[in-house]
Amino acid sequence: METKVENNDQLVFMLGNCAVIIKHLLSISVDDTKSKAYKTNYNDLLRLPEISYWKKRIPMSIDVTTILGSKDSCFENSFAKLLTYGLNTSEILPKNLLMKYLSFLEEKKCENIYDSLARLVVANYLFASGLSNNIVDEIVTKRINCLFDFVTSSPIKFNIYSESTEIRIPSQYHSKKLVNPILYQKNELILPLVYDIFIFYHIYEKVSDSLRIKIDTIIEYISDSRYQAFDYGYGLIKRSKNKFHSMGWSTHLPFYNDNLATNYFEKGLIYRMVLFSKFNNPVIQNWIEEMLIKLEKFKINSYQYCFPHQLLPETKNSYFMNGRHMGLGENRTKKLSRIIESTYYIYIIQKNRRGFEK
């Protein structure tokens, strides 16, 4: 079990050795944003080539195809990466581009689940980056209420698959289960997505008590073994003209059960541990504790870790939400930098959990 001494040792080690991005994040973490040293480091942060790279990849043309996708130039990856670096809305988007994204949120087009998902992603990210306005607040709040209603009221919340034999599924998808169309009849999937956990993580301490209770209730649903027994990614979604799409973005916990224990889940493990670390749910916290024990083999002393590359992937043109962009500006050709990044993630997980431990 982590102690205050170990945590302080982690902080001292990282601040003495880390590069600009982690130093910025640690300063925010310990609420040291007034000092001259912070302001100097912040100015250095804004000049980093990493910042320039991701800013240039924020889409100027806004539609479903530029928001959702695996490319670095998709909004869901470029904006999220800058948010992870500790930047806020005004530091990421110039005002004229922000207005274009807000106009996109006002659109009523909703012909399939990707229309609603794209607007949800934009609203979630803007809200997480500190922006609050009517349309953003409305989309975020409506989504929380929608999920809360589903997990508290739906008779099929643990029976999400369609048993209909009338729908002909193409042969290439025969191994996949068909998600009940009732769950996206209004072109919004009302099952929790990892995008939802992302926004919960960023707003949990900022929302009203009533919304926090609803978030806790959604997390409780996710922690249920019946939910974790769903297929990873949920399954197939039926689209128009008898087309199908294999869904992703379910909120499964890596290594929770045998089906979630393949090597594939190593790459997203640390990211999911961070996302779920703020929620004082006994099942979630027990899972994190088990994962921390699993990661002890990478501990090199009482407070430092050194993870292999597969646990901290930084993969070009891949999904941020799958935990594929874990780099934080350290020089990954050096072992010390890998130790710093590994230790940072453990530090954040432990810091978020403080007060939950028995």
Could you report the per-residue pLDDT of 124-156, keeping only the tens digit for each? 999 999 998 999 999 999 999 999 999 999 999
Tell me what pLDDT residue 174 has: 77
Tell me what pLDDT residue 164 has: 65
Which of helix, strand or coil describes residue 161? Answer: strand
CB atoms within 10 A of CB 167: 12
The residues near 251 (Cβ < 8 Å, ≥ 6 apart) are 192, 193, 194, 196, 197, 222
Contact 209, 235 (CB under 8 A): no
Tell me what pLDDT residue 1 has: 38
DSSP H or E stretch at residue 246: strand 244-246
Could you report the per-residue pLDDT of 233-248, keeping only the tens digit for each? 999 998 777 788 888 8
Q: Is the pLDDT of residue 3 over 60?
A: no
Beta pairing partners, 214: none
Q: DSSP states of 76-141 as a string?
A: HHHHHHHHHTT--HHHHS-HHHHHHHHHHHH----SSHHHHHHHHHHHHHHHHTT---HHHHHHHH
Gap between the Cα atoms of 335 and 76, Å rounded: 30
Gap between the Cα atoms of 97 and 100, Å rounded: 5
What's the pLDDT band for 175 if we cut at 50, 70, 90?
A: confident
Gap between the Cα atoms of 262 and 266, Å rounded: 8
Tell me what pLDDT residue 125 has: 97
Q: Is the pLDDT of residue 176 over 90?
A: no
Q: Is the pLDDT of residue 199 over 90?
A: yes
Rounded mean pLDDT, 194-213: 94
From the list 272, 282, 277, 281, the residue with the least C-alpha distance to 323 is 272
- Range in 150-154, 203-207, 276-280 with the lowest mean pLDDT: 203-207
Q: Residues of the chain with pLDDT > 90: what percent? A: 85
Contact 306, 298 (CB under 8 A): yes
Please give the single-letter amino acid code of residue 98.
Answer: L
Could you report the per-residue pLDDT of 18-62, keeping only the tens digit for each? 999 999 999 999 999 999 999 999 999 999 999 999 999 999 999
Q: Is the pLDDT of residue 14 over 80?
A: yes
Please give the single-letter amino acid code of residue 101.
Answer: Y
For the chain, the first-to-last Cα distance in angstroms comes to 10
What's the pLDDT band for 2 if we cut at 50, 70, 90?
A: very low
Could you report the per-residue pLDDT of 253-274, keeping only the tens digit for each? 999 999 999 999 999 999 999 9
Please give the single-letter amino acid code of residue 49.
Answer: P
